[in-house]
Amino acid sequence: MSFLSKIFGSKHNQSTNQFVNPIEVEFHSHLIPGVDDGVETLEQSLEILNGFQSMGIRKVITTPHVMSDFYKNSRENLLPILKEIQAKLKAAGSNLEVEVAAEYMIDDGFIPKIEAGELLCFGPEKKHVLIELPFMTEPAIFKEALFELQVAGYKPILAHPERYSYFAFNKSEYEALKNRGILFQVNLLSLIGYYSKPVMETAQFLIDQKMIDVIGSDTHHIRHQQLLPEVYNNKYYKKVCELELLNNQL
């Protein structure tokens, strides 16, 4: 082996084995300014959106919190801000697609929203809906809410299942939810231990069990996005990308 091939041989092997990120659709973030605990200004939103595009993302579905007590968001206040963001991106020559949906807390105000047909949905049939739960206690209406969602034809995606300690301590709950047809979205930062070690281990368990259907960054601010290169180098990121993820169909 020549001197040069000794040097470039290893480089060549690296490049042929190089991991290519297959994810084109970023799902789950808080990029509508001033409506929840996510970004506060239009400039912050645009900076993060441009960052996603430079990471190879072609579409961002952003998902502001909807909570009956704190964040009373709906299409009425969200869509005008989305239009402003889209106009700014277009004016800057960006072809990034941006959509708005929501991350619905399962609380007392949720079932009335199903009945009123108010849910902000996404996906090819506009039937997917992102839901979340409190971190410490399962709400009494959770199973009823799932039933009502599914009877109405929605496809619920449970945000960050790895973060609910009451499921993590009783992992058969995950299987029961999957058997009911609930889709699971893991948070990318869970893979690098951003929230805690137990959350990371639960995320790894769900990936090992092939229970994850969608991945998302749950970006609230630029610091979350700045951690994504570390995620892309994580072996569990590569492992989750081998599953049949829905991201690119959304």
Query: Nearer to Fe ion by C-beta: 103 or 213?
Result: 103
Question: Which alpha helices (H) appear in the chain, and where do they start and end?
Answer: 3-16, 42-54, 75-91, 110-115, 142-151, 165-168, 172-179, 197-208, 222-226, 228-232, 235-241
Q: How many angstroms separate the CA atoms of 199 and 195, rounded?
A: 6
Query: Nearer to Fe ion by C-beta: 26 or 218?
Result: 218
**In the complex, what is the shortest distance from the CB of residue 94 to Fe ion, in angstroms, rounded to a whole number?**
24
**In the complex, what is the shortest distance from the CB of residue 116 to Fe ion, in angstroms, rounded to a whole number?**
23
Tell me which residue has its CB nearest to Fe ion.
218
Query: Nearer to Fe ion by C-beta: 185 or 204?
Result: 185
Footprint of Fe ion (CB under 5 A): 103, 218
Query: Nearer to Fe ion by C-beta: 196 or 233?
Result: 196
Between CA 98 and CA 100, with CA 182 as vertex, the angle to 5 degrees is: 15
Query: Nearer to Fe ion by C-beta: 94 or 194?
Result: 194
**In the complex, what is the shortest distance from the CB of residue 36 to Fe ion, in angstroms, rounded to a whole number?**
8
DSSP 219: B
Amino acid at 67: M
**In the complex, what is the shortest distance from the CB of residue 10 to Fe ion, in angstroms, rounded to a whole number?**
41
Query: Contact, 73 vs 98, CB < 8 A?
Result: no
Q: What number of CA atoms fall less than 13 Å from residue 234's CA on the CB side?
A: 21
**In the complex, what is the shortest distance from the CB of residue 218 to Fe ion, in angstroms, rounded to a whole number?**
4
**In the complex, what is the shortest distance from the CB of residue 30 to Fe ion, in angstroms, rounded to a whole number?**
6
Query: Nearer to Fe ion by C-beta: 107 or 218?
Result: 218
Q: Say how far residue 31 (Cα) sits from the centre of its chain.
A: 12
Q: How many angstroms separate the CA atoms of 158 and 69, rounded?
A: 20
155-159 and 183-187: which strand pairing? parallel
Residue that has been written with the tokens 């989305």 in this structure: 82
